[in-house]
Amino acid sequence: MAEKFDCRTTGVHPSEITPEHVYLNRRGFLKSLGIAGAGAFLAACGGSPPASPTGAALPAVTETAVQGEINPTDEPGDALTSFEQITNFNNFYEFTFSKRDVAKLAQEFPTSPWQVEVYGLVNNPHTFRIEDLLKQFTQEQRIYRMRCVEAWSMVIPWQGFPLAQLLEVVEPKPSAKFVRFETVFDPERMPGLKNHSYPWPYQEGLRLDEALHDLTILATGLYGKPMPAQNGSPIRLVVPWKYGFKSIKSIAKIELVETQPATLWTTIAPHEYGFYANVNPKVDHPRWSQASERRIGESKQRPTLLFNGYADQVAHLYEGMDLQVDY
Ligand code: MTE
């Protein structure tokens, strides 16, 4: 498949290239779902400091009021990637495989009206209008590193809300073990969908405990502005400890399911793209190393961190798993 991810063909030039958090009373919610270790989850949400590249402890994930000033750096002190770079170097294959053309092609993409249908193994299936999601859930700012499987990275100031808050409303049944996400399918406005060698619509999935983790958000904007079309307007997933392809854009459907769902990338190339896709410098892509990455806007390589630097918050989710096998 010629268009598969390949950092050697991305042609990135060095010049081109994260009010107080609303406390969720999830304890009862998690217990009702029968999730083991809810206490550990809540402790992790409390923000054990992640390890820095130098091994020093870092403060918790940065959260500031959406209306307030945007921090100029992420928690290790790395500068934010510029708005210009974040919005002009994109992977959104429904439009094109050419990163620099997504913004232009997506400009007219209509994202109003927009609905997100949440269904499957839930007690309260519900279709949310985007304007209701924006009102119902307090929008927070989260500055996250994003590490693409292609070995480049950015630091992006998102705004959005924890996916757990939405799941709390629909009440997953005890039989729900995974969450499946689907991007809108709009061949008239998404020219890339004419490429029939891909199993559209773009689909992704998370284990339920990953979906409920406080770091996992549904993002509705960046840099304090509504989400640009090229970045997945009006609403996308952001899972900062996983490779960027897990962070599915322009979500139309969210389904709670019992078994691990098929995803676009595990369907196309399961030997190259695992379901978990946790950032891991020790598990190379079959065609390139994942030991280091280039931050967009910098020329030098920097070491890639296990779980993209969020290990202290998320490593417990994978206890007992062999990360070389479940990659
Ligand atoms: N979601 C959809 N629907 N289609 C895509 O092609 N690309 C993924 C992910 N989400 C993609 C997607 C990949 S490979 C990456 S790296 C990120 O989106 C890129 O997000 P960005 O363009 O906002 O930086």
Q: What is the pLDDT of residues 98-110, one digit of tens each?
A: 999 999 999 999 9
Asked if pLDDT for residue 208 goes beyond 50, the answer is: yes
Average pLDDT estimate for 300-311: 97
Q: Tell me how far apart the alpha carbons of residues 190 and 185 are, in angstroms, rounded to a whole number.
A: 8
- Please give the mean pLDDT across all residues of the chain: 84
**50: nearest Cα among 86, 18, 24:** 18
Q: Ligand 1 pocket: which of 5, 223, 249 to mutate (most atoms <8 Å of CB)?
A: 249
Instruction: Give the closest residue (by CA) to ligand 1 atom 12.
Output: 248
The rounded Å distance from CA 65 to ligand 1 centre is 26
Does 7-318 carry CATH code 3.90.420.10?
Answer: yes
217-249 confidence digits (pLDDT tens): 999 999 999 999 999 999 999 999 999 999 999
The model carries a pTM of: 0.83
Is 241:310 a contact under the CB 8 Å cutoff?
Answer: yes
As a dihedral over the C-alpha atoms of residue 289, residue 291, residue 295, residue 301, rounded to 10 degrees, the angle is: -90
Provide the 8-state DSSP code for 64.
E
pLDDT at 234: 98
pLDDT at 2 over 70: no
pLDDT tens track for 252-276: 999 999 999 999 999 999 999 999 9
Do 296 and 17 meet the contact criterion of CB atoms below 8 Å apart? yes
Q: What is the rounded CA–CA span in Å between residue 49 and residue 26?
A: 21
Whole-number Å distance, alpha carbon 123 to ligand 1 midpoint, is 31
**Distance (Å, whole) CA 155 – CA 190:** 27
CA of 36 to the centre of ligand 1 (A): 32
Instruction: Give the tokens for residue 240.
Output: 């900062």
